[in-house]
Structure 1
Amino acid sequence: MNGDRPDVVERLDEATAALDALRDGFAVEERLDDVLHRLAESAVTVVQDADAVTICVSPEQPRTAAASDQAFVTIDERQFRANRGPCLESARTLTAVRAVVGENHDIWPEFEECAAQHGVRAYLSVPVVLPTSDRSDRQHMGSLNFYSYTAAAFDPFDEGLVRLFTTAASTAIANAHQWQRARDHVKHLETALVSRAVIEQAKGILMAVHSCSEDEAFDMLVKRSQDDNVKLRDVAKNLIDSLT
């Protein structure tokens, strides 16, 4: 390791401090893209020779969710359109992929051309995976992509630091997914409760108008729903609206 590079302890301390700040700043209700943007900003300050960091998510339809410099999103998108490049190679193999621009034109010509236009000399992509109970079946969630203007950038120690950030990214993405599922569940429950209240009110109206039982009133609503091919809740709401 070059003598002008920070020593190992200092670099580890920087990474630990950055990750601690991220952990303490994570808010449950924070948008995923906002969390990942802060992660990208922290990673680019800690990883030696990293001039920009992007974070891609949604492997099936990849998109760049965060970037320390928006100019580099173009390189990500060029890989996505071509369906090849070191980012996608990392995603498919679930291994870190390092590329020196100018050495892979036959393999990733689109990436090589776009990266060269931006002055990029070295690139490192590390997959973000969610561990499962079966270690052989890890869920790929995205990638951290590091860009450098220095061809010799990203030594093995850098890769080790990057893996710390991929762990933070996997936690952020998993938490965001869990939060979204919880929000969706609550929304479904709220909709169900509102529907129940509307139906009960409509039943009460029918019971008063027709002097019928609760079951008979409900059967009337169900029959109208089937005859008109309209949801039961909407039938009940229309009945209430017609009287008010």
Structure 2
Amino acid sequence: MSTHLLAPLMAKLATTAEAIEGLRDLFAAEEPLDDIAARVTETAVAAIPHADAVSITVLSWPQARTAACTHDLASELDHQQYASGRGPCLEAASQRAPARAEIGEEHSRWPEFVEAAQRLGIRASLSVPLLIVGSAEEQELVGSLNIYSRTASAFEPYDAELIRLYTFAAGQAISNAKRWQHSRDTVTQLETALLSRSDIDMAKGALIALHGCEPSEAFAKLVAESQRRNIKVHKVALELLDSMKASEGLAQKNLGSRRAGI
């Protein structure tokens, strides 16, 4: 291949490499999933030639959703495809293969998408599969990185393969964020459970001291009140502890008044 023909390809390879390098910091980022997705789209729109808007589609039950986008027109085009049930972003995600389109040539294939794209001034699109690896308890999430351009000749087969490299790296970054989010949620749930157990144990102790009952009887009283009022046992325990604190505060106030001769 001549140098004249090779130069544009090398330039595209360089920009893709820069985009992948821009994802490097995301691998260690401890941020929610959609925040990471937003950073992935921002990196892509800045690095990919002719990218005027970028979005990320995630296939989730009962319908697909846009996890992040760089421009409202990308979100509008995504949602039009979700509504019609067809379009490049859905095809790329479901078939796990790039879907490249020059808008004017795809009316018979995706008429609703083409009409919306033409109305918004979009003349080419490229959607590439995005796989987000799940944990042992979760299924793999499937989606697509969607690139929309106002330039009809924006994307060639070579571009699709380059962007596949980018989405592979992006998928790893998002998977890492998803694992972190799952771990954070688990820790929060454990902390909440431990605090709830501590409050319930203190309430049981208070009932044992007040009524001279067994621990099982004290817990049964809390459960019975919970069922009678249709609220959680933890809330019953907190109310009991708050009530006792209020009573103790009132008793100390009365004692102070008597000592002062009031």
Shift of 1:104: 2.2
Corresponding residue of 2:89: 87
2:239 aligned with 1:233, yes or no? no
Q: Which moved more, 1:4-13 or 1:204-213?
A: 4-13
- Alignment correspondent of 1:180: 181
Q: How does 1:22-61 map to 2 (within 5 A)?
A: 22-26=23-27, 28-60=29-61, 61=63
Which residue of 124, 131, 140 maps to 1:129? 131
Counterpart of 1:231, as a letter, is: K
The letter for the 1-side match of 2:108 is D
Q: Matched residues in 1 for 2:6 and 2:148: separation?
A: 18
TM-score by length of 1: 0.83
Residue in structure 2 matched with residue 204 of structure 1 by the alignment: 205
Deviations along 1:24-46, whole A, 9 cap, x unmatched? 25553323333223322322343
CA RMSD of aligned residues (A): 2.8
The match for 1:66 among 65, 68, 71 is 68
- Counterparts of 2:215 and 2:32, CA distance in 1: 46
Amino acid paired to 1:183: R
Describe the superposition over 1:202-224 as per-residue Cα deviations: whole angstroms up to 9, x where unpaired: 11111211223334333333344
Q: Give the 3-state SS of the residue equivalent to 1:63 in structure 2.
A: strand
Contact (CA 8 Å) 1:94, 1:140: kept in 2 or not?
no
In 2, distance between residues paired with 1:112 and 1:18? Answer: 28
Shift of residue 96, structure 1, vs aligned partner: 0.9
Provide the rounded CA distance (Å) in 2 between the counterparts of 1:93 and 1:115: 22
- Could you tell me how far apart the structure 1 residues matched to 2:59 and 2:173 are? 14
Residues 50-108 of structure 1, C-alpha deviations (whole Å, 9 max, x = no match): 33322222443323233333333221221122221121122221211111212222231
**Which structure 2 residue ranges, 5 or more long, are not aligned?**
247-262
Alignment of 1:159-170 (within 5 A): 159-170=160-171
Asked whether the 8 Å contact 2:130–2:168 carries over to 1, the reply is: yes
Contact residue 59 and residue 91 of structure 1 kept, 8 A: no
Equivalent-residue separation in structure 2 for 1:36 and 1:76 (angstroms): 15
* Number of equivalenced pairs: 240
Distance 2:27 2:134 in 1: 23
CA distance in 2, matches of 1:52, 1:229: 50
More off after superposition, 103-112 vs 20-29: 20-29
Q: Which of residues 76, 85, 107 is equivalent to 2:109?
A: 107
Change (3 A) 1:223 1:14: same
Partner of 1:77: 79
Letter in 2 for 1:214: P
- Determine which structure has the larger helix proportion and give its number: 2
Query: In 2 relative to 1, CA 234–152 (structure 1 residues): closer, same or farther, beyond 3 Å?
Result: same
In structure 2, the residue matched to 1:11 is 12
Supply the distance in 2 between the matched residues of 1:225 and 1:85 (Cα, whole angstroms).
52
Q: Select the structure of larger CA radius of gyration.
A: 2
Structure 1 unmatched runs, 5+: none
- Listed one character per residue, the Cα deviations across residues 157-184 of structure 1 (whole Å, up to 9, x for unaligned) are 2112111221133223322322222222
Segment of structure 1 superposing worse, 178-187 or 65-74: 65-74
Equivalent residue letter for 1:67: C
Distance 2:47 2:229 in 1: 63
What amino acid maps onto 1:205 in structure 2? A
Counterpart CA distance in 2 for 1:150 and 1:4 is: 20
